[in-house]
A and B are shown apart, each in its own frame.
Chain A
Amino acid sequence: MNKIYLDNAATTRIDPRVLEVMQPFFCENFGNPSGMYSISRNAKKALDGARATVAEILNCKPEEIIFTGGGTESDNLAIFGVVEKNFSSKKNHILTSSIEHPAVTNCFRKLEKKCEVDFLSPSQEGEITPEKFTKSIKPNSLFASLIFANNEIGTINPIAKIAKIAKKNGIIFHTDACQAGGTLDLDVQNLGVDLMTLNGSKIFGPKGIGILFKKKSIKIEPQIYGGGQEFGLRSGTENVPGIVGFAKALELAQASRISQNKKYKAWQDKIIEFITKEIPDSRLNGSAKNRTPNNLNFSFLNTEGESVLLMLDALGFSVATGSACSTASLKISPILAGIGMPHEIAHGSVRITFGRDTKTTDIDKFLIALKQIIEKTRAMSAVNFSKEDFLGWF
């Protein structure tokens, strides 16, 4: 069966052009970049080149790019690294939102023993406003981390505005931009952030590779000790094929960003229009305007997301859900819970995320299947809520 993959926010496949540039670094130029012979020098050259490419895209200095083992590791390095290095009795308050990726949330939870931690509540659309951020600042605020674009509902935070406020108040500011790599501008001078996480697996690059942008003036404590690679901040022999692949993937993602976004936006509009017209009692989760163009998240009342997901899978479509039933913990998505969504609505949530492989015909086929499946699951549903049961949500 022809698979139609609409879960690009979970991960993407590797672009063949990325795989191609990685190939020579597995078996030919496999040398340790710190070696002095040509096999190593070739690897070192590629490593430096990749760093320069990434720095150019992010509009920063090459020495401000730290290659890591992925987005989660970059988030851990940023959060623990900043806090360990800069924590004091006068600067011990740290802020984040209640709808971050677990790679951020769980670091902040761990730090609750050491710091005063605030998990800011977003708006119903999933946004932390500059006003909300300003109100949460205290004289002892040290560090803040906010997601650039939300991984589930796609809402974009006003990172540039918030970073400015953070700077004014002497707060070190980090953003996890993993969901933004293919669609948003990553210029760190425009964004004004001190630290930023990106990874390969969301941008048609390899898995197990990420970066942490760290402004030169910001000091952090390494979290992995060893041979002192990556300016002493992330030891371990460099993953040269991964690094080369990441740089290529980022280059391709950013070069095609504007043209892809146009396509994504057209599909977004088409799907919203179709669902509004053809599938009653449905709701767009997240912001209608302020979201990444490749993300859509809907709730269908009186349906359960895991059933919808599995029925779509049987027809060849891959999507995600925030339903409790889809997780081992049997809890609804913390992000949907974090925007205050009632369980009844969150259970029936479906996330659709496009990628560069998505075609208009895929969207057309998907919508036909979705409509049938929502009707099928509703036909066996033991509950029969109406929009009026959830004031403020429909």
Chain B
Amino acid sequence: MAEENWIYSDTVKDHFFDPRNIQSITNEKNIKADGFGEVGAMACGDVMKMWIKVEDDKIVDCKWRTFGCASAIASTSMLSVIVTENDGMTLEDAYLITPEEILVRLDGLPKHKIHCSVLGDQALRAAIDDYKSKK
């Protein structure tokens, strides 16, 4: 069963062992963010929370916390890098990010783990929706 390959890419491992942009504030009431999103289900083991800061319609900060496996951690970490690099991605572009784009940047994931990477972009869209609803 070749698709049950357990070997994570070096990029996945890097982001798993050294995740970027983790929300370190544990008391959520103290977090100042422009938008917040939460997605996931406990039954399959992944819950994702994401906080964004927006300036001039660009995402300037993206912090997250996850209850999930290596794939979920690495893909969210990578997503947070993608949306904040080069002075921040526009909300419009960020809203359209697909799991495939994250996968490419991660140099792939084992086939049955791909679903773990979809939570990050869902959480991001939820955070953008939240930001827009508050505007």
- Please give the residue numbers on chain A whose beta carbons come within 8 Å of chain B beta carbons, in ascending order: 302, 304, 306-307, 310-311, 314, 323-326, 328, 330, 332, 343-344, 347, 379-384
Contact = CB atoms under 8 A, between A and B. Distances in A.
B81 to A, nearest CB: 15
Given A314-B17, A325-B116, A328-B112, A380 B43 contact: no
Contacts, number: 71
Contacts of A382: 38, 40, 47-49, 64-68
A302 B49 CA distance: 14
A147 to B, nearest CB: 26
Nearest to A347: B45
B16 interface: yes
Contact of A306 (B4, B17, B43, B69): B69
B44 interface: yes
Given A304-B68, A330-B112, A383 B47 contact: yes
Nearest to B38: A382
Contacts of B16: 307, 310
Contacts of B47: 382-383
A372 to B, nearest CB: 13
B17 A304 contact: no
A317 to B, nearest CB: 15
Interface residues of B, number: 31
Contact of B42 (A306, A311, A328, A344): A344
Interface in B103-135: 112, 115-116
A379 B42 CA distance: 18
Interface in B54-82: 64-73
Interface centre among B22, B45, B48, B49 (most CB of A within 10 A): B45
Contacts of A344: 42
Contacts of B26: 379, 384
Contacts of B42: 343-344, 347, 383
B99 interface: no
A324 B44 contact: yes
A380 B65 contact: yes
Contacts of A332: 45
A330 B43 CA distance: 9
B69 A380 contact: no
Nearest to B77: A380
A304 B45 contact: yes
A381 B116 contact: no
A381 B67 contact: yes
A380 B73 contact: yes
A307 B4 contact: no
Given A310-B16, A325-B116, A383 B67 contact: yes
